[in-house]
Amino acid sequence: MLPILGDRHVTLPEHVLAFVLVLLPVSLLIYGILVIGADSAVWKLLFWGMAPGALGAAAAYLGGRPEELAGSTTTLPLMLLFLADALRIAAATYAGLVLARPFASSGMALLAAGLVAAVDLFSVFAGPTRTLVENEFPSLDYFLL
């Protein structure tokens, strides 16, 4: 939403409105996926996750990188990037549903989430992700998915 507002100073109400206009539909999307996929078989969740993942990667490729949009804001690339983000969120939600299936208790799921967060923090601050960011590899967007 912020590229639409332009380079001028963005006020606090505009920031809040941008976050509301983005977070409300995203939370409804995630809730809908969780309701639909709660009792589905794992193979269906994997298929339903791969389809939006592939479409999201294609939309991101066609929409261009956000850095390229800084010079001129056009409607089509922004719409494709919005679509790419929504499809990536859907793919990540389906992947989360698949990965959450083996856990019988919420304690084990929290333990696994804590371990994954610790590994991710290490990667960002001292590992391969830091190297990718510092060297500005163009393939970083695909790794972030």
* Residues 81, 49 contacting (CB under 8 angstroms): no
**Pairwise CA distance, residues 8 & 104, whole Å:** 51
- pLDDT tens track for 84-105: 888 888 888 888 888 888 877 8
Q: What is the mean pLDDT of residues 65-73?
A: 60
Model confidence at 60: pLDDT above 70: yes
* Residues 86, 26 contacting (CB under 8 angstroms): yes
- CA quadruple 117, 90, 20, 110: dihedral positive or negative? negative
**Pairwise CA distance, residues 36 & 94, whole Å:** 10
Model confidence at 142: pLDDT above 70: no
Q: What is the mean pLDDT of residues 106-129?
A: 84
Question: What are the extents of the domains in the chain?
Answer: 2-102, 105-145
Give the pLDDT band of residue 68 (cuts 50, 70, 90): low
Indicate the helix (H) or strand (E) that contains 57.
helix 42-63
pTM: 0.63
Count of other CB atoms within 10 angstroms of residue 138? 8
